[in-house]
Amino acid sequence: MNLFSEYQIKIFKVLKSLEKKKLIKIPSNLKGINIELPPKNQKADISCNAAMILAKVNGLQPNELATMLKKHLLDNFKEFKQIDIANPGFLNIFFHYSFWNEYLKKIIKLDKKYGLIKCYKKKYNIEFVSANPTGPLHVGHSRGAVLGDVLSNLLKFNGHKVTKEYYVNDYGGQIKNFLMSVYYRILEIKEKKPFPQNQDLYPGDYIVDIAKKIINKNTIKDYSNLDKIYKKLLKESLNFSIKLIMDNLNQLGIKHDNFVYESNLIKDKEVSKVIKKLEKKNFIYKGKLNAPKGEKTQDWVERNQLLFKSSLFGDDTDRPLQKADGTWTYFAGDLAYHANKISRKYDILINVLGADHAGYIKRIEAATKAISNEKVSLECKVSQLVKLYKNNQPFKMSKRKGDYITVEDLIKEVGKDSTRFIMLNRSNDVELDFDFKKVTEKSKDNPVFYVQYAYARINSIFRLLKIDLNKKIKIEKDYSFNEHEIEILKKISEWPKCVETSLNKLEPHRIPFYLYQLVTLFHSYWNLGKENKEYRFILEKGNYSNSRLALLQSLSIVIKNGMSILGVSTPRIM
């Protein structure tokens, strides 16, 4: 129920009827006719730019055409109370109060479905977090984790099928270093052997915790020969590390549907299989690459190697698939992983990447095009860095788990709700300043508190009146909304548009921004009632207006739906 797109379609039908009557001309390639909210200094309910778009082709000034269109629109839409013309030719439309009463009825009837976009349902795979399984998640991971989870919620809200996936890079040198770190901690605990001073090893206390858990589990009896226990120790170490990561995600309110292990792809020879398929398509060849930009030419050793023709699909250069020692590159593993995803028949793949992976996008997009014959779409969203502040100073928390600030530390400091809301408070492609003071104070400067407090205030009114907030309210037909209520109604009507834009652009940060704007209007109206009885929701002797309660009910529906997509709670009492 998108008010703006609905009237865009309706008004366009009127324009087509005028064209049939030869009253106006409409170009065949018509674009740009929009229905929007007018600027804040203009009090209309919606605004249409049709006169400005069509003026030139009709040989008229926009204001002249607007005057003619105004008459026909008023004749066709009985719900239009008046239309003002604003320079240079905007049609500013006002609805009758009865329209808003009917609109409220529709919102209340739709309830949890208000804002849902009617569209062709698709099958999505969203891969996010995918941090190396060598330790707990840090603050940088949390932003991408929340982005991926909320994207999933947004897609599910609109009826799409979504698989939330974690790709476990449990193969290669970093995993060997992780295993050795656990092994040396075990020897330190059991045999008092000093932990080696090796910069490749992981120093965090969580390694000690994993070592103790493996010792206590007692499935490995003898640690004297690492070669004999290597596979078993690796399995145990990874299991405890993944459990740690899953606990961190659970603290953020995130649960993945599927975990795909790189080691299984290697074991099942999926890398070799996808490379053979690409060879048959003539996308693989043996050749030499020039030194990468920024690399010293004299240090670069040219060698004949296996290459993927990613430059055919928009990448800057072709990409190597094997290292000098013959093992597969990280990119080769990703080829296999994306081939695996494509084989599972998803319509759209979404990868949420960390800031350090921005340069990796072109090659993996190229790989997806080559593997799927350009039939599967891949969208990559880069989650930029998070900077922590407290009292306007860079903030350092406990680093017990290593040389970084963990998700566990963050949640203990500010809570899940604040973390999720603030991580989406800016677009994912720009850096985010996370101010601990602001997100823990109870004021307008804390957006998550301000939205939750609005919901709690609405609940308090219904509690006082002993009315169920979820019960359908009979709305008075003749109620005239005041200008403040109209502003709230107009903002509520924007919710489906906010959802649609967020969905189409895969930009869920628009939702917390919208919710904050919406509740700011509500809190301002609430404060007016402190000085003027006319604006109070509960009048003298406990009297109230049903239409005003319906307005509050529809407001609560939008807050609830929005916060549900964000994965943030809506407490009834604060």
Under the banding of pLDDT at 50, 70 and 90, the label for residue 441 is: confident
pLDDT score recorded for residue 489: 95
Residues 154, 293 within the same domain: yes
Domain assignment present for 427: no
Residues 127, 15 within the same domain: no
Under the banding of pLDDT at 50, 70 and 90, the label for residue 17 is: very high
Residues in the chain: 574
Domain assignment present for 137: yes
* Of 383, 404, 422, the domain-final residue: 383
Residues 340, 456 within the same domain: no
Q: Decide if 79 contacts 103 (C-beta within 8 A).
A: no
Which of 9-13, 156-160, 391-395 has the weakest average pLDDT? 391-395
Residues 82, 131 within the same domain: no
pLDDT score recorded for residue 346: 96
Domain assignment present for 421: no
Domain assignment present for 35: yes
Residues 322, 457 within the same domain: no
**Core vs surface per residue 21-31: b (16+ CB within 10 A) or e:** eeebebeeeee
Residues 377, 468 within the same domain: no
Closest of 402, 384, 415, 435 to residue 141, by C-alpha: 384
pLDDT score recorded for residue 399: 44
* Number of domains into which the chain is organized: 3
Residues 159, 266 within the same domain: yes
Phi-psi region of 325 (alpha: psi -120 to 50; beta: other; left: phi over 0): alpha
Dist. CA 294–CA 173, nearest whole Å? 25
Instruction: Write the pLDDT tens digit of every residue in 256-298.
Output: 999 999 999 999 999 999 999 999 999 999 988 876 666 555 6
| Residue 192 CB partners (closer than 8 Å, separation 6+) | none
Residues 263, 150 within the same domain: yes
The token duo for 439 is 């997100």
Alpha helices in 252-396 (DSSP H): 262-267, 270-280, 330-343, 361-372
Residues 157, 66 within the same domain: no
* pLDDT for 6 beyond 60: yes
Dist. CA 482–CA 492, nearest whole Å? 15
**Residue 324 exposed, middle or buried by CB count within 10 Å (0-12, 13-18, 19+):** exposed
Alpha helices in 61-159 (DSSP H): 62-76, 97-110, 139-157
Closest of 161, 147, 165 to residue 338, by C-alpha: 165
pLDDT score recorded for residue 449: 95
pLDDT score recorded for residue 323: 86
Q: Decide if 536 contacts 125 (C-beta within 8 A).
A: no
| Residue 315 CB partners (closer than 8 Å, separation 6+) | 362, 363, 365, 366
CATH code of the domain in which 520 resides? 1.10.730.10
Closest of 140, 144, 139 to residue 164, by C-alpha: 144
| Residue 272 CB partners (closer than 8 Å, separation 6+) | none
Instruction: Write the pLDDT tens digit of every residue in 90-129.
Output: 999 999 988 999 999 999 999 999 999 888 899 999 999 9
Phi-psi region of 506 (alpha: psi -120 to 50; beta: other; left: phi over 0): left
* pLDDT for 10 beyond 70: yes
Instruction: Write the pLDDT tens digit of every residue in 128-153.
Output: 999 999 999 988 899 999 999 999 99
The token duo for 531 is 């000085």
Domain assignment present for 518: yes
Closest of 436, 434, 446, 338 to residue 384, by C-alpha: 434
Dist. CA 18–CA 12, nearest whole Å? 10
Dist. CA 37–CA 92, nearest whole Å? 9
| Residue 346 CB partners (closer than 8 Å, separation 6+) | 123, 124, 125, 163, 376
pLDDT score recorded for residue 400: 44
pLDDT score recorded for residue 249: 97
* Of 360, 383, 406, the domain-final residue: 383
CATH code of the domain in which 80 resides? 3.30.1360.70
Closest of 465, 469, 453 to residue 526, by C-alpha: 453
Residues 359, 501 within the same domain: no
Q: Across the chain, which distance is largest between two alpha carbons, in Å?
A: 95
pLDDT score recorded for residue 397: 57
* pLDDT for 339 beyond 70: yes
| Residue with tokens 């169920």, as numbered in its chain | 468
Domain assignment present for 118: no
Q: Count CA within 13 A, CB hemisphere, residue 440.
A: 13
Residues 361, 480 within the same domain: no
Residue 299 is given by DSSP the state G
* Of 383, 404, 433, the domain-final residue: 383
Return mean pLDDT, the chain.
91
Task: Tell me if residue 36 falls in helix, strand or coil.
Answer: strand
Phi-psi region of 262 (alpha: psi -120 to 50; beta: other; left: phi over 0): alpha
Angle at 531 between CA 528 and CA 532, to 5 degrees: 75
Q: What are the CA-CA distances from residue 354 to residues 129, 132, 147, 370 (Å)? A: 8, 12, 11, 24
Which residue range(s) make up the domain with 466? Answer: 447-566
Provide the total of helices (H) and of strands (E) in the chain, helices listed first: 20, 15
Residues 365, 272 within the same domain: yes
Q: Decide if 60 contacts 108 (C-beta within 8 A).
A: no
**% of the chain with per-residue pLDDT over 70:** 97
Task: Give me the amino acid identity at 365.
Answer: E
**Residue 439 exposed, middle or buried by CB count within 10 Å (0-12, 13-18, 19+):** buried
